[in-house]
Amino acid sequence: MKIHEYQARDLLAKAGIPVPAARVVETAQEAEKAFEENGFPLQVVKAQVFAGGRGKAGFVKLVKSAAEARAAAEFMLTHRMVSVQTGPEGIAVNKILIAGAVDIAHEYYLGFVLDRDRSTVSMIASAEGGVEIETVAHERPEAIIKEPLHPLAGMQGFQARRTALALGFTGKQANTVADILLKLSRFFIDYDCSIAEINPLVLTKDGKILAIDAKVNFDDNALFRHPDVLALKDDAETDALEIRAAAANLNYIKLDGDIACLVNGAGLAMATMDVIQLHGGKPANFLDVGGGVKAEGAIEAFRIILSDKKVRGILVNIFGGIARCDLIAEALIQAGREVGFKVPVVVRLEGTNVEAARKILAASQGDLPTLQVAGDLNDAAKKIVSATR
């Protein structure tokens, strides 16, 4: 689960990390008022969206007057933000943060991520933080400091101090940065995060150290033990189809391609997406309908898939283990009659009663002319790729 910057700032502030106070508004008028109430001569107006790269996209703006704050907010609320993280269609902005601007001497990057290669949490830090951090990581990996944490002991004091010194801090400032690192690492563990990142952490011209942007993502599987985090969920920022799928107990993630997949089991769904790519296609989604494929679930799954206008074909890949293939075939046919298949649909079934299922599907061809039955997964992927090209 993702949260907004303003929510992450609140959580980090509660964890004892120095974050400048900010206000959040939803209209340009409120932005103007917030500027006056904040009372600083120079302030920063920032779009609150679940995507980074706002600075470069022009959605982080320094303003010197209430009128400028109003104009910046007006622009952001009426234009979709297109950044390296959004795709060309961009995303709409519904909330704006306004805070006193800080006088920056230097920008640093601090973050903790779930490190799948090392099977632990790793700290990442750099003295070259800010909007170019991806380029730095890509072109000059030596400018990135990485410390894996002990899975049980967590971040150790010596690791935090060593990092602070490696970033170039000395004296009291080094202690402050080490303290921030320890607090952020504890926050990551306590809240079951998948990412907790401060970029930039800034050294101000008057020697203060402050977190002025924060990104925090949580592991969905651990949300049940964080009701306070769940309460921060902003459905307006989540893809409408993903919300609908979650309500129907379907595990659905929208992607950029045009070949939709309907699969039972997450591993099989991943394999299906790989095989589609292998044969030159691009998956339009990840969709795991779960173990027992029933007509109602299949109908909702097809509706969700087909409401994505990019979808030009559907590959159904179901393994009948506990659920029998003949019943699955009946469910697919019922779904097809109910929803109407306007695009090619290729079905690959395997498992219990598969012969009976193939007969049932063959007998339904009159009703469902766009449906083809495939022999195996490679055959299915080839058929759907050629049917959609």
Residues annotated catalytic, as ranges: 109, 197
Distance CA 260, CA 381 (A): 11
Does residue 348 belong to the site contacting ligand GDP (CB under 6 A)? no
Nearer to ligand GDP, 60 or 361 (CB): 60
Structure tokens at 37: 């109430």
Calculate helix-pair angle for 325-339, 295-306, nearest 10 degrees: 50
> Quick one: which of 193, 212, 328, 374 contacts ligand GDP (CB under 6 A)?
212
- The edge-to-edge listing of strands for the beta sheet with 285-288 is 251-254, 285-288, 259-263, 313-320, 345-351, 371-373
Which pair of structure tokens corresponds to residue 258?
Answer: 């045009």
Torsional sign, CA 326, 332, 333, 338: positive
Q: What part of residues 115-154 is at the interface with ligand GDP (CB under 6 A)? A: 130-131
Q: Find tokens 């002319």 and name the residue.
A: 369
- What is the sign of the dihedral through the CA atoms of 318, 319, 322 and 323? positive
Return all residues near 207 (Cβ < 8 A) that are at least 6 apart.
173
Q: Which of 83, 126, 199, 372 binds Mn ion (CB under 5 A)?
A: 199
Q: Do residues 298 and 272 lie in contact, with contact meaning Cβ atoms separated by under 8 Å?
A: no
- The answer to whether residue 203 forms part of the interface with ligand GDP (CB under 6 A) is no
Q: Closest Cα to residue 343, out of 375, 374, 319, 311?
A: 311
Least Å distance between CB 197 and ligand GDP?
A: 9
**Residue 101 in contact with ligand GDP, rule: CB under 6 A:** yes
Closer Cβ to ligand GDP, 49 or 360, answer by number: 49
Cα separation, 67 vs 76, in Å, equals 14
Rg of the chain on CA atoms, in Å: 25
Span from 209-217, 242-250, 276-284, 367-375 in contact with Mn ion (CB under 5 A):
209-217
Pick what 368 binds: Mn ion, ligand GDP, none; C-beta below 5 to 8 Å, kind-dependent. Answer: none
Tokens of 33: 């008022």
Instruction: Confirm or reject binding of residue 200 to ligand GDP (CB under 6 A).
Output: yes
CB of 108 to ligand GDP, least distance (A): 10
Scan residues 303-342 and list those touching ligand GDP (CB under 6 A): none
**Minimum CB–partner distance for residue 26 and ligand GDP (Å):** 19
Q: Any contact of residue 213 with Mn ion (CB under 5 A)?
A: yes
Specify the residue, 213 or 300, whose C-beta has the smaller distance to Mn ion. 213
- List 1, 15, 104, 253, residue binding ligand GDP (CB under 6 A): 104
What is d(CA 287, CA 246) in angstroms, rounded to the nearest whole number? Answer: 11
Query: By the 8 A CB rule, do 316 and 336 touch?
Result: no
Q: Which of 18, 55, 154, 351 binds ligand GDP (CB under 6 A)?
A: 55
Smallest gap from residue 69 Cβ to ligand GDP (A): 13
Give the nearest distance from C-beta 259 to ligand GDP in angstroms.
32
For residue 269, give every residue at least 6 positions away whose Cβ sits within 8 Å of its Cβ, in sequence order, or none: 261, 263, 286, 287, 288, 317
- The closest residue (CB) to ligand GDP is 55
Binding residues among 74-93 for ligand GDP as defined by CB under 6 A: none
**Where on the chain is the footprint of Mn ion (CB under 5 A)?**
199, 213
**Where on the chain is the footprint of ligand GDP (CB under 6 A)?**
44, 46, 52-55, 60, 62, 101-102, 104, 107, 130-131, 199-200, 212-213
